[in-house]
């Protein structure tokens, strides 16, 4: 899997100022989230899981202090962008499913309105945004072309740009129409099955009404390349005549019609799909030509050829020229920037920084970075884009500290003197002296230098590997344009939003969505409310989904449904998910990687297999030991005591006090993250080479052994099946896999 | 399971309907089961299937619509719906006969007999439902009197009426009599609620919360109350100092322990635990389950454990009942149920359990239950039938044959 990083959290520290003192909720955690993976964060309540997720989505409570760290998404540092910018990300790009469904729904607004509201608003914004990005990229592209050609054919290029823009929109319009009918066909199938089942089992139902809705639904499938009018019309006529018949309604006729309709849809799904990107161009360029004389295959071939000959080849050639130019510029920019940084470095290497000098350096360096960014590369380079923000943040922090440190120190001295005065009188004050919040100037200065070093190192490696595939880059650009143009054309009307919402409600398992659409949140049970919340989060089609204990309040069947739903949507949309939970069973199902958190720190970090089959941290052992599975007989090993008070976090390992295997050093010094393999890290002194060897609790080792034996057995059975079927009949390729899974299912039921 | 176990709670055709406009919502519909003394009975099903309502109806928090609940042989819950229905059916049958013109004098007499019989039943049911506590209290008082009166008489003869010894004994007798008078049979069944925060009054100290039951019962001796409160606090793993605190000063697990303490101070025979661990963290869950397990062995408790987490239920229960939309669909010992699930809904439920095993999870496929597709009840409706010793399934005869074959086949 290509590991494209979607989200990076670096050295995040969050604390809360409360009456009793500063609660250190999250203490220096870092993790990455890759594209299309699920990262599970596991821990007890109060371990800082939710605080982390809230910091990511920018809804930390008002008394939260984000002391340091970076959260990088799409080239932006989410901790430093303005609220205005965050509006574009929150809910749209990063969505969240909350723990408590009741508090995240508005009690006085109907469910339907709540579901569609965001869809309509976000659609408006995203269309604008897509249009902007499309135009920006196109103008960047042609600016580069013009530069490369020394403004030789400006007019020609302009028409080319215009052409691309216009034909793309025609194509997408056509494609939307086609997709609507395909989707209608997909929706029709389960309804048809349901109706046939009811008719077969003789269930009492309003079949006349069903017949009417069948006619309505089925008519939507009509499209010249999907189900043609000739096929659809007689079926609909027949059904209509049937339910309009005054002599009485015949169920048999309806069943006949539905069966015919089902067959038509199934047949239509096997047809070749028209390639609308090329057809769109053909329609745009040759509006006089009659398309109906071609079959789909012919049309695809013809339009492809026309597009390539008349437009695309020249466009790609131009794009390649532009990319070469832009790459050349950006390489130059990078080299310049490296020099610039080398020149300006001395300003920040001084003992004390000068404010004026710094702000000037900031301006020149930011301009340099801006020039070094290759704008035509679709995947954004997070370091270059965040340089500005992290640099500014560090400078601001430094000068704030210069201003505030003496004040803090004075405050501390004052309160300390007061305390001592009272103490000398023999009284014990009921308040405590809070240590001064002094920011280390030296450290901040080093951070700035580190920001430089990181960027320079990155650019130097980038300059070394020159081989860039321009052809591929140009194709990527075309894809980018296609996607953005789709975003522009994709209008969500209230009616369409309603249809989409109803479909979503059905997807998340709400029966009779049409009736439920008009109800208020209090009319739903807890599980139903949670599903609504999930539907709302999914409605925006986000990039990253944060699930904060989404299934804790639900029962097993619904939980399984919801997890399946999230997994399916993840696969379909290539979503990245951060999944927060304390239920390890759920984690095993969902996660690709797992981070175990305790007292604001990540204590173990690894792939699902590492954590479940080879856990290393005593806390992970304790979590695994305290949950019963289906074969547990012996007494559960509960974790004694409660998590530590985070106003006064322990000096050593936070888990030491509740840990049977704690060493002496655990109480004195915090363990670093020990590396076990490339993906697996754990923060425990037990992994130190000098530490005594401690085995996980028996309940855990036994379970792991049992799981391994079971999986081997399953594997063996699957293999036997596969061999057997392969011997019996060679061409049946899919059969073994299916059989194996069926066997698994039975086995699962037996446990 | 041993054969000579004594049945402590018997639930018979229990129904609980709620009125929703003109229609009835059948939250619990003819559910029957028995719990033996010292056993843990797990009740599972998805949310909204009537598990909690069953528990609450048993403890008389709702008035049952139909069916009976017997506690140690004494009927404590009785509904009248079934008898009314019987009268209706009989009357309609007679009416139909009259319309056809084949009704005889004999039919009329039979109808009258049937109606009077059912009315008698209704009367009895209403009486039992209302006065089961009074009868129990009277019995308790009688027993107490039988025990105390000879002692008092002896003391009177020995010391005379005015003497201190006699007065002391008399006061003791008066106190016990008051307690006995307030004795209610349903107090022998106690409940632990799901939400530890919602079920504790934030304005009462832990001492007040735990001792409330005793106070209502009529115990006035402060020292006795304190002693008992400290005892139960110790039993559930808290300390005596905690008695003066308020609920908000405790963590989630400790709050649930207070809930447990509140229920065991009444020295119940049965505890109805309504999802006691669903709202807790895994590590705390284990603490509470261990606690319940210890108490159960120590005090000989019988527990009706309502939950939706099947791994916990499997770990904790001896017998399991699976409910689906107000109906009990399968009932068996926990080993048997997990080894040979018969009803398609049970299979669906078992296939949905997530396990802490990533390799297994990747291959696990969930079975979907669709009543319309999985059953064919056009010719014969389902009834509760025994497919193996102690294993009951809601099915018709055709399905029963299939289930028996499945069990034997395995």
Residues B261, A612 contacting (CB under 8 angstroms): no
How many residues appear in chain B?
A: 410
Tell me if A714 and B363 make a contact (CB, 8 A cut-off): yes
Cα A443 to Cα A535: distance, rounded to the nearest angstrom: 45
Cα B227 to Cα B265: distance, rounded to the nearest angstrom: 11
Q: List the structure tokens of A182.
A: 């395909």
When pLDDT is cut at 50, 70 and 90, the band that residue B42 belongs to is very high
User: What is the per-residue pLDDT across A108-120, written as a single tens digit (0 to 9) for each?
Assistant: 999 889 888 888 8
Query: Residues 6 or more apart from B30 whose CB is under 8 A from it?
Result: B13, B14, B15, B66, B67, B327
Average pLDDT over residues B282-309: 86
Of B47, B251, B356, Cβ closest to residue A525: B47
DSSP secondary structure letter of residue B353: -
List the alpha helices (DSSP H) in A373-439.
Answer: 382-424
Identify which has the larger pLDDT, A726 or A435: A435
Predicted complex ipTM:
0.78
Identify which has the larger pLDDT, A737 or A673: A673
Domain boundaries, chain A: 5-108+520-590, 113-290+475-485, 321-467, 703-750
What percent of chain A lies above the pLDDT cut of 70?
A: 94
Domain boundaries, chain B: 204-268
Residues 161 through 180 of chain A touching chain B, CB cutoff 8 Å: none
Interchain contact B277–A (C-beta under 8 A): no
Question: Can you list the pairs that A622-625 forms with residues at least 24 positions away whose Cβ atoms lie under 8 Å?
Answer: A622/A658, A622/A659, A622/A697, A622/B283, A623/A42, A623/A584, A623/A596, A623/B282, A623/B283, A624/A584, A624/A696, A624/A699, A624/A700, A624/A703, A624/B356, A625/A697, A625/A699, A625/A700
SS3 labels along B231-276:
HHHHHCCCCHHHHHCCHHHCCHHHHHHHHHHHHHCCCCCEEEEECC
Of A197, A710, A751, Cβ closest to residue B373: A197
Q: List the structure tokens of B371.
A: 């009543």
Residues 353 through 372 of chain B touching chain A, CB cutoff 8 Å: 353-361, 363-367, 372
User: What is the per-residue pLDDT across A275-298, written as a single tens digit (0 to 9) for each?
Assistant: 777 888 888 877 777 777 777 788
Q: Is the pLDDT of residue A748 over 70?
A: no
List chain B residues with CB under 8 Å of A588.
Answer: 354-358, 360-361
DSSP characters over A449-486: HHHHHHHHHHHHHHHH-----HHHHHHHHHHHHHHHHH
List chain A residues with CB under 8 Å of B279.
Answer: 553
Q: Please give the order of strands across the beta sheet that includes A674-675.
A: A94-97, A544-548, A576-581, A38-42, A593-598, A601-607, A681-682, A674-675
Residues A22, A15 contacting (CB under 8 angstroms): yes
3-class SS shares of chain A: helix, strand, coil, % to 5: 60, 10, 30
Residues 37 through 66 of chain A touching chain B, CB cutoff 8 Å: 44-45
Of A455, A442, A457, nearest to A349 by C-alpha is A442
Interchain contact B347–A (C-beta under 8 A): yes
Sign of the four-CA dihedral B304, B282, A702, A659:
negative
Q: Is the pLDDT of residue A221 over 90?
A: no
Strand pairing category for B319-324 and B327-333: antiparallel
User: What is the per-residue pLDDT across A378-404, written as a single tens digit (0 to 9) for each?
Assistant: 766 667 777 777 788 788 888 888 888
How many CB pairs lie under 8 A apart between chains A and B? 164
Most confident option among A299-313, A545-559, B141-155: B141-155
Identify which has the larger pLDDT, B1 or A302: A302
Disruptive mutation site among A203, A553, A588 for chain B (greatest number of B CBs within 10 Å): A588
Tell me if B283 and A628 make a contact (CB, 8 A cut-off): no
Q: List the structure tokens of B233.
A: 């606090």
Tell me if A636 and B356 make a contact (CB, 8 A cut-off): no
When pLDDT is cut at 50, 70 and 90, the band that residue A3 belongs to is low
Is-above-0.80 flag for pTM?
no
Of B290, B311, B349, Cβ closest to residue A638: B290
Q: List the structure tokens of A5.
A: 């990083």
Cα B395 to Cα B407: distance, rounded to the nearest angstrom: 15
Tell me if A201 and B45 make a contact (CB, 8 A cut-off): no
Residues B169, B141 contacting (CB under 8 angstroms): no
How many residues appear in chain A?
A: 751
HSE value, Cβ hemisphere, 13 Å, CA-based, for A289: 15
User: What is the per-residue pLDDT across B119-139, written as a single tens digit (0 to 9) for each?
Assistant: 999 999 999 888 888 888 898
What percent of chain B lies above the pLDDT cut of 70?
A: 99
**Could you identify the residue written with the tokens 């010249």?**
A224
pLDDT of residue A380: 66
Strand partners, B7: B36
Quote the Cα angle for A565-A76-A338, to 5°: 140
pLDDT of residue A746: 41
Tell me if B353 and A585 make a contact (CB, 8 A cut-off): yes
Of A435, A668, A520, nearest to A113 by C-alpha is A520
Tell me if B360 and A584 make a contact (CB, 8 A cut-off): no
User: What is the per-residue pLDDT across B93-108, written as a single tens digit (0 to 9) for each?
Assistant: 999 989 988 878 888 8
Tell me if A749 and B347 make a contact (CB, 8 A cut-off): yes
Strand pairing category for A544-548 and A576-581: parallel
Tell me if B352 and A560 make a contact (CB, 8 A cut-off): yes
Average pLDDT over residues B310-331: 89
When pLDDT is cut at 50, 70 and 90, the band that residue A451 belongs to is confident
Tell me if A749 and B351 make a contact (CB, 8 A cut-off): yes
Tell me if B354 and A527 make a contact (CB, 8 A cut-off): no
Interchain contact A589–B (C-beta under 8 A): yes
Architecture of domain A5-108+520-590: 3-Layer(aba) Sandwich (3.40)
Average pLDDT over residues B63-92: 90
Residues 315 through 334 of chain B touching chain A, CB cutoff 8 Å: 315-316
Cα A6 to Cα A11: distance, rounded to the nearest angstrom: 17
Average pLDDT over residues B362-391: 83
Q: Specify the DSSP element, H or E, that contains A228.
A: none
User: What is the per-residue pLDDT across A660-702, written as a single tens digit (0 to 9) for each?
Assistant: 888 888 888 888 888 888 889 998 888 888 888 888 888 888 8
């Amino acid at each position: 899997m290509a590991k494209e990083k979607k989200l990076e959290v670096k050295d995040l520290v969050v604390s809360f100022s409360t009456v009793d003192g500063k609660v250190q909720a999250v203490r220096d955690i870092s993790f990455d989230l890759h594209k299309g993976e699920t990262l599970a964060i596991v821990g007890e309540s109060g371990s800082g899981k939710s605080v982390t997720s809230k910091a990511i989505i920018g809804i930390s409570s008002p008394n939260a202090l984000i002391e340091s760290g970076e959260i990088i998404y799409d080239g932006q540092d989410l901790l430093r962008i303005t609220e205005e910018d965050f509006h574009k990300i929150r809910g749209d790009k990063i969505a969240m499913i909350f723990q408590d469904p009741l508090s995240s729904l508005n009690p006085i607004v109907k469910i339907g309105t709540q579901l569609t509201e965001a869809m309509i608003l976000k659609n408006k914004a995203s269309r604008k945004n897509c249009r902007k990005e499309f135009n920006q990229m196109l103008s960047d592209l042609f600016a580069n072309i013009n530069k490369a050609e020394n403004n030789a054919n400006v007019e020609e290029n302009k028409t080319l740009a215009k052409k691309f823009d216009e034909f793309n929109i025609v194509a997408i319009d056509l494609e939307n129409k086609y997709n609507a009918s395909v989707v209608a066909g997909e929706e029709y199938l389960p309804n048809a099955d349901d109706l046939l089942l009811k008719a077969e089992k003789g269930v009492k139902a309003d079949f006349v009404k069903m017949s009417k809705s069948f006619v309505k639904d089925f008519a939507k499938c009509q499209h010249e390349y999907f189900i043609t009018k000739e096929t659809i019309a007689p079926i609909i006529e027949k059904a209509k005549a049937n339910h309009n018949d005054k002599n009485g309604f015949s169920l048999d006729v309806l069943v006949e019609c539905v069966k015919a309709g089902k067959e038509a849809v199934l047949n239509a799904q096997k047809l070749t799909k028209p390639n609308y990107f090329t057809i769109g161009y053909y329609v745009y360029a040759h509006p006089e030509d009659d398309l109906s004389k071609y079959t789909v295959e012919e049309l695809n071939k013809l339009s492809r050829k026309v597009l390539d000959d008349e437009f695309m080849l020249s466009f790609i050639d131009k794009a390649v020229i532009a990319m070469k130019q832009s790459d050349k510029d950006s390489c130059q920019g990078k080299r310049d920037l490296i020099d610039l940084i080398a020149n300006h470095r001395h300003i920040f290497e001084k003992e004390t920084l000068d404010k004026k000098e710094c702000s000037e350096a900031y301006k020149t360096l930011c301009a340099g970075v801006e020039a070094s960014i290759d704008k035509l590369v679709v995947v954004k380079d997070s370091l270059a884009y965040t340089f500005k923000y992290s640099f500014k943040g560090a400078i601001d922090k430094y000068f704030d500290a210069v201003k505030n440190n003496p004040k803090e120190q004075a405050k501390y001295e004052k309160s300390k003197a007061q305390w001592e005065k009272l103490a000398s009188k023999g009284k014990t004050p009921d308040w405590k002296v809070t240590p001064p919040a002094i920011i280390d100037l030296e450290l901040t200065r080093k951070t700035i230098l580190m920001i430089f070093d990181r960027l320079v190192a990155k650019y130097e490696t980038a300059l070394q590997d020159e081989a860039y595939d321009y052809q591929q880059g140009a194709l990527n650009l075309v894809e980018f344009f296609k996607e953005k143009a789709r975003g522009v054309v994709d209008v969500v009307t209230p009616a369409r939003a309603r249809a989409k919402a109803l479909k979503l409600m059905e997807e998340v398992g709400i029966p009779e969505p049409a009736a439920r659409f008009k109800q208020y949140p209090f009319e739903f049970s807890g599980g139903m409310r949670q599903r609504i919340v999930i539907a709302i989060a999914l409605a925006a089609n986000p990039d990253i989904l944060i699930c904060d204990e989404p299934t804790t309040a639900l029962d097993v069947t619904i939980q399984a449904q919801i997890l399946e739903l999230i997994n399916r949507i993840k696969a379909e949309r290539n979503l990245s998910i951060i999944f927060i939970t304390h239920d390890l069973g759920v984690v095993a199902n969902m996660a690709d990687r797992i981070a175990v958190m305790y007292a604001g720190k990540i204590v173990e970090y690894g792939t699902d297999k590492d954590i479940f089959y080879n856990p290393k941290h005593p806390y992970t052992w304790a979590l695994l030991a305290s949950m019963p599975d289906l074969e547990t007989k012996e007494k559960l090993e509960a974790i004694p005591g409660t998590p530590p008070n985070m106003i006064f976090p322990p000096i050593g390992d936070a888990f030491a006090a509740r840990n049977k295997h704690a060493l002496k050093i655990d109480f004195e010094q915090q363990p670093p993250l020990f590396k076990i393999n490339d993906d697996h890290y754990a923060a425990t002194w037990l992994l130190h080479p000098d530490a005594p060897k401690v085995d996980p609790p028996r309940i855990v080792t036994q379970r792991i052994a049992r799981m391994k034996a079971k999986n081997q057995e399953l594997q063996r059975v699957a293999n036997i099946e596969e061999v057997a079927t392969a011997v019996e009949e060679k061409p049946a390729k899919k059969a073994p896999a299916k059989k194996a899974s069926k066997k698994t299912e039975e086995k699962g039921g037996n446990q | 399971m041993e054969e000579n176990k004594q049945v402590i709670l018997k639930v018979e055709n229990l129904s609980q309907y709620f009125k929703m406009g003109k229609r009835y919502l059948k939250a619990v519909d003819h559910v029957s089961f028995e719990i033996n003394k010292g056993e843990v009975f797990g009740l599972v099903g998805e949310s909204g299937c009537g598990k909690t309502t069953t528990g609450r109806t048993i403890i008389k928090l709702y008035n049952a619509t139909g069916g009976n609940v017997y506690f140690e042989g004494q009927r404590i819950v009785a509904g009248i719906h079934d008898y009314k229905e019987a009268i209706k059916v009989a009357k309609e049958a007679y009416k139909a006969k009259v319309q056809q013109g084949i009704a005889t004098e004999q039919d009329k007499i039979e109808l009258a007999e049937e109606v009077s019989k059912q009315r008698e039943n209704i009367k009895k049911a209403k009486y039992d439902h209302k006065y089961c506590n009074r009868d129990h209290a009277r019995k308790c008082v009688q027993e107490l009197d039988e025990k105390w009166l000879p002692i008092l008489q002896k003391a009177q003869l020995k010391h005379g009426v005015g003497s201190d010894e006699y007065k002391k004994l008399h006061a003791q007798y008066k106190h016990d009599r008051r307690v006995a008078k307030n004795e209610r049979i349903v107090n022998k069944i106690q409940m632990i609620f799901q939400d530890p925060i919602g079920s504790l009054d934030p304005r009462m100290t832990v001492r007040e919360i735990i001792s409330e039951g005793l106070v209502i019962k009529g115990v006035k001796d402060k020292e006795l109350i304190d002693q008992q409160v400290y005892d139960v606090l110790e039993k559930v793993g808290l300390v005596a100092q905690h008695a003066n605190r308020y609920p908000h000063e405790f963590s989630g697990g400790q709050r649930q322990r207070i809930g447990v303490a509140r229920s065991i101070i009444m020295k119940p025979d049965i505890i109805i635990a309504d999802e006691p661990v669903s709202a807790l963290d895994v590590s705390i869950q284990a603490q509470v389950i261990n606690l319940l397990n210890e108490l159960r062995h120590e005090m000989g408790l019988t527990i009706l454990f309502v939950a939706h987490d099947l791994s916990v239920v499997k770990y904790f229960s001896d017998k399991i009942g699976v409910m689906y939309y107000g109906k009990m669909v399968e009932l068996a010992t926990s080993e048997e149920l997990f080894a040979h699930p018969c009803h398609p809904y049970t299979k669906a439920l078992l296939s949905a359990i997530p396990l802490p095993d990533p390799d297994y999870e990747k291959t696990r496929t969930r079975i979907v239950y669709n009543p319309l597709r999985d059953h064919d009840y056009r010719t014969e409706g389902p009834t509760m039938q025994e497919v193996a010793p102690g294993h009951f399934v809601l099915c018709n005869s055709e399905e029963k044959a299939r289930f028996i074959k499945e069990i034997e086949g395995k």
